[in-house]
Amino acid sequence: ADLREPRRRSSSVSSMMQVRPRVASSFAYSAKVSERGLMSDLRAMAKLPVFWLVVMALSGLYFVVTGVQFWATDYLITELHADPAEVELLFIVTSATGPVFGVFFGGWLVDRCGGYRGRRQAVIALGVDSCLGLLALGCAIPVTYIDNVWGVCACLWGLLFFGGAVLPSATGIYIAAVPLSMRALASSVSVVLFNLLGYFASPFLCGWLMGELQSYRWGFRVCLWWSFFPCALLVGALCMALWGDNGKGISGLMGGADESQSLLGGGGGGSSSGGAGG
C-alpha cells in the first residue's frame, strides 16, 4: 500500500497538469469569441443613427444642466453682484423644482400623445422632444442678457424644466432603438458618453473659457448656448426616423432586428416613464 500511494499521487498530479492547459485554452477561446461578439455588436450599433443622435442629444443636455448647476451661483454673485443669501435660496428652489417637475410633465405629455412604443408613437415622441428642446433653447438664450437675478432664475427654471421633460421619452427611445441582444452594450456606451461629453466636459470647458476670457459671462453663455446642439440632434433623429434608410423610415432604423420589435413593433402605446426607468 505504501508503494502504491506515491504512484496514485503522481498520476493525479499528471492528470491535473493535463487538465490545466485545456482549461486555459478554453478560457482563451471564450475571450476570443466574446471579443469578436463585442466588435460585431459595435459595428451593428454604428448602423443605428437614431440611437447615436439621441444619445449625443442627451449628452449635450447633461452638458448644459451640469454647467448650470456648477456655475450659476458664481455667475449671479460675480457678474450681477447679487446678494449671496438670495442667490443660494433662489437657486436651490430653481434647481430642485425645475428638473423634477419637468420629468413628470414630459412623461405625462408623451403618454398623452400615445407613448413611444411602436414606430408611429416613437416618431411622435421624437417630435414632442424636439419641441421641448426648442423651448429649452428659448429659455437659455436670454439668460446672460438679463441683469436681474429673478429674471435669470426664471429663465434657468424654464431651461431645466423643458430639458428635464425631454429625458423620459428620449431615454426610452435610445434604448428601444437597439436590438435586445445589444441593449446592455448600448447602455454602457451611452453612460460613457454621458460622463465624458456631459458631466466632465461642461465644468472643464466652461471653466477654461472663463479663465482665458477673464469673464464669467462668456463662459456661462457658452454653456447655455450649448442647448442648440441637443435641439439640432433631436431634430436630426426625427428626420432620420421619418425619412432615413432609403425610405424605410423608422422600421429600418429603430433596431432593425426582429428581436427589437417586442418594444417598437407593437401597436400599443406603452408608458414613457416606464421606459425611462428601464
Mean pLDDT of the chain: 79
pTM for this model (two decimals):
0.76
Cα 158 to Cα 34, 86, 95, 161, 244, distances in angstroms: 46, 19, 10, 5, 32
Has residue 150 got a pLDDT over 80?
A: yes
Q: Quick one: average pLDDT of 146-161?
A: 94
Query: Could you confirm whether domain 48-277 is CATH 1.20.1250.20?
Result: yes
Any residues with CB less than 8 A from the CB of 139 and at least 6 apart, and which? 155, 156, 158, 159, 162
Q: Write the CB contacts of 115 (distance below 8 Å, at least 6 apart in sequence).
A: 121, 125, 268, 269, 270, 271, 272
The pLDDT of residue 114 is 80
Q: Give the lowest-confidence range in 31-35, 171-175, 202-206.
A: 31-35
At a CB cut-off of 8 Å and minimum separation 6, what does 131 contact? none
Give the cell for residue 54: 439621441
**Res 24: pLDDT:** 43
- Asked whether the predicted pLDDT for residue 19 surpasses 90, the reply is no
Q: What is the pLDDT of residue 246?
A: 42
pLDDT for 247 equals 40
pLDDT tens digits, residue range 77-99? Answer: 999 988 999 999 999 999 999 99
pLDDT tens string 211-235: 898 888 899 999 999 999 999 999 9
